[in-house]
Amino acid sequence: MKTHVSVKVASHEDATRKLLVPVGLSTPHETPIRFEIFGGMHSLIGETSTGQMAALVTPEVGAELEVRYEFEAGGPGYPDAVFTPNENRFTRAAQDLVEDAVRTAETQKDGHAAIQALVNAAAGRFRYAHPEVRFNDGCEEIPYLACGLTEGSCVDINTYLIASLRAAGFEAGYITGYFFPEEKQGCCSDMHCWVVTRHNGVVLEWDIAHHLKMGTRDICCGLNPKPGDRVAVAHSMGLTFPAVGIDCEKLMAEPAWITPEGSLERAEVTIRRVQIQVAEAA
């Protein structure tokens, strides 16, 4: 089985703007085998803390810009760099969050039970939503959410979860990509993210946001509690691309315009996925 993903990007009113585009990420479920840009020229630039490469795209004037990925089913697993802590304002836990995470983990009989408890604790602090102001906006560390429910998207929930897991001493990684809900028949409107943990060589995946969207706080490991398909394109938070003046950008996912100030501005995109069954060789 091969999966083709097309991301069409509407032009920017400033014709001099360039795009930053992730080139795809290997997971246990798929491997990126082709990356193409139509309607623009591109080169590769490097991110300093994770070693990821991204495409720097210069659109052709008057042309429709399209990014195409091809993924093959099956993969070598998540790169080791996914689990390497990169301390910055998007990953650093406040001291009271560290203390709470350690207490939560210490009450469990083993590491995997501790991870599950930290996942449940994070889920218990959020109500799924897309607030205009995120719970950690303007903060230099991830604040502890002591009581009540805080509105948060998949980005917010997983930011809190990653900080909690790492504060308790567990390997954890933040993955960005696209999720195509079953009911939308191969379409989606923006990026999605999820968390992976690695303990004693066992890698588990977590998607709290989809559980909350389905009305349950009984969080299980594994992907797609909400029916659909996904692909990964990048990982980690607090990314730096010196070649274009980007310093500690929160994340990289769908194509984004690079501003003159060295930040990323969301692009208007149309995302489609097609799966193709590949016949076995005789």
> What pLDDT, in 10s, does the model give residues 122-148?
999 999 999 999 999 999 999 999 989
Residue with tokens 């977590």: 206
Provide the residue type at 198 as one letter. Answer: R
Residues 194 and 266 in one domain: no
Average pLDDT across the chain, whole number: 95
Residues 86 and 221 in one domain: yes
Q: Return d(Cα 135, Cα 120) in angstroms, integer.
A: 18
Residues 190 and 143 in one domain: yes
- Tally the domains of the chain: 2
Residues 93 and 24 in one domain: no
Residues 86 and 226 in one domain: yes
Q: Do strands 228-235 and 171-181 pair parallel, antiparallel, or not at all (unpaired)? A: antiparallel
pLDDT of residue 163: 98
**For the segment 66-90, what is each residue's pLDDT rounded down to a tens digit?**
999 999 999 999 999 999 999 999 9
Q: Is 267 domain-assigned?
A: yes
Q: Is 56 domain-assigned?
A: yes
Q: Is 191 domain-assigned?
A: yes
Q: Is 228 domain-assigned?
A: yes
pLDDT of residue 278: 60
Residues 56 and 98 in one domain: no
CATH code of the domain covering residue 173: 3.10.620.30
Q: Is 142 domain-assigned?
A: yes
Residues 74 and 109 in one domain: no
Q: Return d(Cα 24, Cα 176) in angstroms, integer.
A: 10
Q: Between the CA atoms of 200, 204, 208 and 213, what dihedral angle is there, to the nearest 10 degrees?
A: -160
Residues 89 and 117 in one domain: yes
**For the segment 233-277, what is each residue's pLDDT rounded down to a tens digit?**
999 999 999 999 999 999 999 999 999 999 999 999 999 998 777
Which of 214, 233, 252 is the last residue before a domain boundary? 233
Most confident of 146-150, 153-157, 275-279: 153-157
Q: Is 281 domain-assigned?
A: no
User: Can you give the residue range of the structural domain that contains 220?
Assistant: 82-233
Q: Is 17 domain-assigned?
A: yes
Q: Are 119 and 206 in contact (CB under 8 A)?
A: yes
* Selected residue with higher pLDDT from 281 and 50: 50
pLDDT of residue 1: 84
261 sits in the region (left: phi over 0; alpha: psi -120 to 50; else beta) called alpha
Residues 99 and 197 in one domain: yes
Q: How confident is the model at residue 231 (pLDDT cuts 50, 70, 90)?
A: very high
Please say if the pLDDT value at position 282 is more than 50: no
Average the pLDDT over each of 169-178, 200-209, 221-230 and give the range with the smallest value: 221-230
Residue with tokens 């950690």: 136
- In 120-145, which positions are buried (b, 16+ CB within 10 angstroms) versus exposed (e)? ebbbebbebeeeeebbbeeeebbbbb
If you compute the radius of gyration of the chain from its CA atoms, what whole number of angstroms results? Answer: 19
Q: 154-167 vs 111-123: helix axis angle to the nearest 10?
A: 140
Query: What's the average model confidence in pLDDT over 216-222?
Result: 92
What's phi and psi for 177, nearest 5 deg? 180, -150
pLDDT of residue 276: 79
Helices within the chain (DSSP H only): 95-106, 111-123, 154-167, 208-213
Question: Which one, of 104, 110, 88, 238, lies nearest residue 168 by Cα?
Answer: 104
Q: Is 269 domain-assigned?
A: yes
Residues 30 and 148 in one domain: no
Residues 250 and 202 in one domain: no
* Distance from chain centroid for Cα 119: 17
Q: Return d(Cα 197, Cα 178) in angstroms, integer.
A: 19
Tokens of 262: 């060295």
Residues 106 and 93 in one domain: yes
Q: Return d(Cα 124, Cα 227) in angstroms, integer.
A: 23
251 by Cβ neighbours in 10 Å (0-12 / 13-18 / 19+) ranks as buried
Q: Are 25 and 175 in contact (CB under 8 A)?
A: yes
